[in-house]
Amino acid sequence: MSVMDNKPTRVAWLHGASARCETIPKGPFLPWRIILLGAPGVGKGTQADLLNARLLACHLSTGDVFRAAATRSDDEQTPAMKEALAYMRRGELVPDSTVWDMVQERGACLHCAGGFILDGFPRTRAQAVSLKQFLDKDGLGLTAVVSYELPACEIVARLGGRRTCETCKAVYHTTERPSKVEARCDRCDGKLFQREDDRPESIEVRLEAYERSTAPLIEFYRKAGLLVQVSATGTPEEIYDRTLPELETRRLSLFAERMWMSEENRRDA
């Protein structure tokens, strides 16, 4: 099986518990379990895509779940989802209880043998605590939490030019990362669209929400010994080249720790 055949399809994540992924990647001995933190537009989705191509861990974006729900008909949307989409359009954070219900419903994705790259979740302290309790309960340790950092003026320029594929969710930028054919996706020929929350008034609200609710998680994960800080300046490939060695170093030390613990257990037995 080639690496591409093994690429996760994200169906269970995007469409919920009743949907099944066609391919469940055969995970490595120690699956990658990564969280990407960073302001809106810093490039988390772009990096998640590059990391996914290399590590195979599934790209789990809460924003993508909301956007997938927005494409369903009015009858298919639950009242909670309709309410969530209204928050999203304004650029505000969706209430914690709605987000957590949605993530819990997709709990199998967090157990996936292929691992995961969480993008856009957790975004508040309450979400981070819920996630920690969920993972601890089942002994699912995180590999690392990557925090991407970029000046606000560059963030606004990235968001203003973003275009997303309505079918496969691939992300482009009108000048920095244009598609080969205008307004069509290079991968699946899907139509590219501009997100509703990339309007200037929503961008301002999103940046404020990030500073108020999400930025404090940097300290939360630093204290947990999981934080890796990476500058998000330069091209996506340059940022990726800075991220990967940091992740590999962390994973190697987790691997050594695990081997040491199993050796200790063997000796005690």
Active-site hit among 10, 106, 123, 251? 123
Q: Which amino acid is at 210?
A: Y
Over the window 125 to 154, marking each residue x when it contacts ligand AP5 by CB under 6 A and - when it does not, the resulting string is --x---------------------------
Using the minimum distance from each CB to ligand AP5, give the nearer residue, 2 or 175: 175
Is 266 considered catalytic here?
A: no
Distance CA 68, CA 8 (A): 17
Ranges assigned E (strand) in 104-226: 116-119, 144-149, 162-165, 171-173, 192-193
Q: Please report whether residue 45 would count as binding ligand AP5 according to CB under 6 A.
A: yes
Name the residue type at position 16. Answer: G
Q: Which of 67, 162, 169, 251 is catalytic?
A: 162
Site string for ligand AP5, 155-194 (x = CB under 6 A): ---xx-xx--------xxx--xx-----------------
Q: Which position among 25, 38, 114, 115 is part of the footprint of ligand AP5 (CB under 6 A)?
A: 38
Closest to ligand AP5 by CB, 123 vs 251, is: 123
Answer for the pair 42, 218: CB distance below 8 angstroms, yes or no.
Answer: no
Q: How far is CA 84 from CA 57, 89, 137, 139, in A?
A: 27, 9, 28, 31
Our CB check for ligand AP5 shows the closer of 31 and 41 to be 41
The two beta strands, 192-193 and 162-165, are antiparallel
- Report the nearest approach of ligand AP5 to the CB of residue 216 (Å): 14
162 counts as catalytic: yes
**What residues contact residue 76 under an 8 Å CB cut-off, 6+ apart?**
none
Q: Quick one: which H or E segment has residue 66?
A: helix 62-70
Q: Which of 7, 90, 132, 195 is catalytic?
A: 195
DSSP three-state, residue 123: coil
Report if residue 69 touches ligand AP5, rule: CB under 6 A: no
Told to check if 94 binds ligand AP5 by CB under 6 A, we report yes
User: Which ranges of 138-235 does DSSP label H, i.e. alpha helix?
Assistant: 152-160, 200-209, 216-223
Contact 173, 163 (CB under 8 A): yes
State which of residues 10, 59, 106, 123 lies at the interface with ligand AP5 (CB under 6 A). 123
Q: Does 115 bind ligand AP5 (CB under 6 A)?
A: no
Q: Does 44 bind ligand AP5 (CB under 6 A)?
A: yes
Closest alpha carbon to 49 in 120, 119, 108, 111? 119
Active site residue 44: yes
At residue 188's C-alpha, the angle toward residues 183 and 189, to 5°, is 35
End-to-end CA distance of the chain: 39
Give the residue closest to ligand AP5 by C-beta: 63
Which one among 104, 231, 235, 249 touches ligand AP5, defined by CB under 6 A?
A: 235
Q: Which parts of this chain interact with ligand AP5 (CB under 6 A)?
A: 38, 40-46, 61-63, 66, 87-88, 91-94, 99, 120-121, 123, 127, 158-159, 161-162, 171-173, 176-177, 197, 206, 235-236, 239
Give the active site residues: 44, 123, 162, 195, 206
